């Protein structure tokens, strides 16, 4: 799974938390029912199967359900993912490249059901409550298809808030994410979820 696919997977999971039928169900239902918009800071670490030093990054995420997101890595290397409900834009300033895809195609395959927010979730994932750890209640989603790009996703909740995510991809890489300074239902300007490719950038895709 390359960096773009990993970011899309992470952003997809962040946008629509997994629904569980046991354990953390009340927190998850409350989160979905009472959260229209969300803003938070995140710290992310990608751990290779070999166990070598993790790749660490941090930034901010903004969400407007359904379908809009802004996942902005600020350190150490800027990268931006913006979903406006119709398209997903991935901007890599270092490469001066913008990748654009239709939202349905961008999330198709691996994290599609996690972004849909529909009742199709159980068709694509096996869901289970995996109990409490690190002071969080965890839900695990395992894709039912073998070519999804990742093995499983775990989401940790506390006090009704999404506090952590852990993704294990098909190459044995683990992405660990911790959220902080979370604001639920903040007023977010429409420009948060709009993206215009900068002059001179190489636009790939649609």
Q: Is 139 in contact with 23 (CB distance < 8 Å)?
A: yes
Question: In the numeric block, which tokens belong to residue 204?
Answer: 């790939």
Whether the Cβ atoms of residue 98 and residue 24 lie closer than 8 Å to each other: no
Q: What are the structural domain ranges in the chain?
A: 3-181
Looking up tokens 């683990």 gives 174
Q: How far apart are CA 68 and CA 132, in angstroms?
A: 30
Dump pLDDT digits (tens) for 7-53.
Answer: 555 555 545 444 444 455 566 566 667 778 889 999 999 898 887 78
Q: Which CATH class is domain 3-181?
A: mainly beta
- Assess contact for 43 and 182: CB atoms under 8 A: no
Count the alpha carbons within 13 Å of 194 in the hemisphere toward its beta carbon.
Answer: 5
Main-chain dihedrals φ then ψ at residue 57, nearest 5 degrees = -150, 165
**pLDDT tens-digit map of 65-94:** 777 888 899 999 999 988 888 888 999 999
Q: Is 200 left (phi over 0), alpha (psi -120 to 50) or beta?
A: left
Residues 54-66 as b or e (16 or more Cβ within 10 Å = b): eeebbbebbbbee
CA distance 161 to 1: 28
Number of CB atoms found within 10 A of residue 174's CB: 16
Question: Is this prediction's pTM over 0.85?
Answer: no
What's the pLDDT score for residue 119?
36
């Amino acid at each position: 799974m390359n960096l773009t696919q990993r970011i899309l997977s992470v952003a997809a999971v962040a946008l629509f938390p997994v629904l569980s039928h046991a354990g953390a169900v009340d927190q998850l239902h409350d989160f979905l029912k009472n959260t229209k918009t969300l803003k938070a800071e995140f710290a992310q670490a990608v751990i290779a199967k070999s166990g070598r030093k993790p790749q660490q990054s941090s930034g901010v995420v903004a969400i407007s359900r359904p379908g809009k997101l802004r996942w902005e890595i600020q350190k150490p290397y800027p990268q931006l993912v913006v979903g406006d409900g119709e398209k997903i834009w991935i901007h890599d300033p270092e490469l001066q490249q913008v990748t654009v895809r239709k939202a349905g195609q961008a999330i198709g395959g691996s994290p599609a059901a996690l972004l849909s927010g529909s009742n199709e979730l159980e068709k694509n994932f096996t869901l289970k409550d995996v109990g409490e750890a690190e002071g969080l209640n965890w839900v695990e989603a395992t894709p039912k298809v073998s070519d999804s790009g990742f093995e499983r996703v775990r989401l940790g909740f506390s006090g009704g808030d999404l506090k952590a995510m852990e993704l294990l991809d098909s190459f044995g890489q683990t992405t660990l994410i911790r959220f902080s300074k979370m604001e639920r239902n903040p007023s977010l300007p429409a420009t948060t979820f709009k993206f215009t490719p900068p002059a001179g950038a190489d636009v790939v895709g649609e």
